[in-house]
Amino acid sequence: MSDKRIAVIGGTGDQGKGLALRWARAGFEIIIGSRDAARAVAAADAMRATLESNGSGSVRITGAANPEAAVSASIVVLTVPFAAQVGTLKEIRERLAPGSLLVDVTVPLEPAVGGKPTRTLGVWAGSAAEQCAELSPPGVEVVSAFHNVSADALADLEHEAECDILVCGDSKEAKARLRPLIAAIAGCRYVDGGPLANSRTVEAMTALLIGLNIRYKTHTGIRITGLKE
C-alpha cells in the first residue's frame, strides 16, 4: 500500500478535519474514520465540498467506520480525545496491517476527567504516545506528531499553519515517513523530536499553548530556532 493513502481515525473532529483538508488539498487520498460510518461519509462529503469550492479541483476523500478506515491505509492517524484513545485503539488494532505507520496525535488533557484544558494528566505509560505503542500490534510502527499545531490554524486554508511539527518515535525510518505529510502543510516543518518517550514533553507543551491561546485570543504554534535544515 502506498503512503499516499491516509486514514484519519476520529477524522470527524476538529484536528482530524484540519489535517485531512490540508492533505487532501495536497493530493493525498484520505479516508475519514468515525464510530459511525454515516457520520464519516457526511464529514468527507463536507470536506470535499469545502475544497472544491476553494478551487482545489478534484480531491479524494471518503468516509468509513474506524476499523474499515484503518485497514485501508498504510498511514493511520489517530485524532480522538484522550478519554477515547484506548477504546478506539482496541477497535482498530486488529485491522492495522504489518508495516503500517500509526501516528498518535492524542494529548492527555484534563477535560478527560472533567478538569482544565490547560493541564495534562499523568499517564501510567509515560505519555499518550507510549500508551498507544503498548496497545499496538507487533509490526506496526508508532510515532507521535501534530500535537502543537492547532485545528483552527489547519482549517484556515487561506493562511500558512506556522508550526514546527515535532515527530517522536523510536525508528528514524518510521519518523521519516511523515516528512511528505508535513511538507504538504504550508508553514509546517518536520523536526525530529527524538524517541517516543519525548512525546511526554511535546504533549505537555500543547496544554501550555492552549493557555496562551486563551490569554492572547489566538492560535499559537511553536518554532525551534537554530536548526541547519
Ligand X SMILES: NC(=O)c1ccc[n+]([C@@H]2O[C@H](COP(=O)([O-])OP(=O)(O)OC[C@H]3O[C@@H](n4cnc5c(N)ncnc54)[C@H](OP(=O)(O)O)[C@@H]3O)[C@@H](O)[C@H]2O)c1
Instruction: Tell me which residues touch ligand X (CB under 6 A).
Output: 10, 12-16, 34-36, 39, 79-84, 87-88, 105-107, 109, 147, 150-151, 206
Is beta strand 141-144 parallel, antiparallel or unpaired with respect to 61-65? unpaired
Quote the least distance from Cβ 175 to ligand X, whole Å. 18
Quote the least distance from Cβ 150 to ligand X, whole Å. 4
108 closest CA partner among 69, 126, 82, 138: 82
Name the residue with the smallest CB distance to ligand X: 13
CB contact set of 75 (below 8 Å; sequence gap of 6+): 3, 5, 6, 7, 100, 101, 103, 177, 181
Quote the least distance from Cβ 106 to ligand X, whole Å. 4
24 membership: H or E segment, kind and range: helix 14-25
Quote the least distance from Cβ 219 to ligand X, whole Å. 8
Quote the least distance from Cβ 180 to ligand X, whole Å. 20
Closer to ligand X at the Cβ: 118 or 206?
206
17 closest CA partner among 118, 132, 122, 156: 156
CA dihedral 150, 26, 105, 71 (to 10 degrees): 150
Quote the least distance from Cβ 55 to ligand X, whole Å. 25
Closer to ligand X at the Cβ: 79 or 136?
79
73, three cell numbers: 491505509
Closer to ligand X at the Cβ: 92 or 174?
92
Closer to ligand X at the Cβ: 159 or 228?
159
Closer to ligand X at the Cβ: 2 or 94?
94
Q: CA angle 138-132-42, nearest 5°?
A: 105
Q: At 136, is the secondary structure helix, strand, or coil?
A: coil
With beta carbons less than 8 A apart as the criterion, state whether 192 and 167 touch. Answer: yes
Closer to ligand X at the Cβ: 163 or 173?
163
| Residue position matching grid coordinates 487561506 | 158
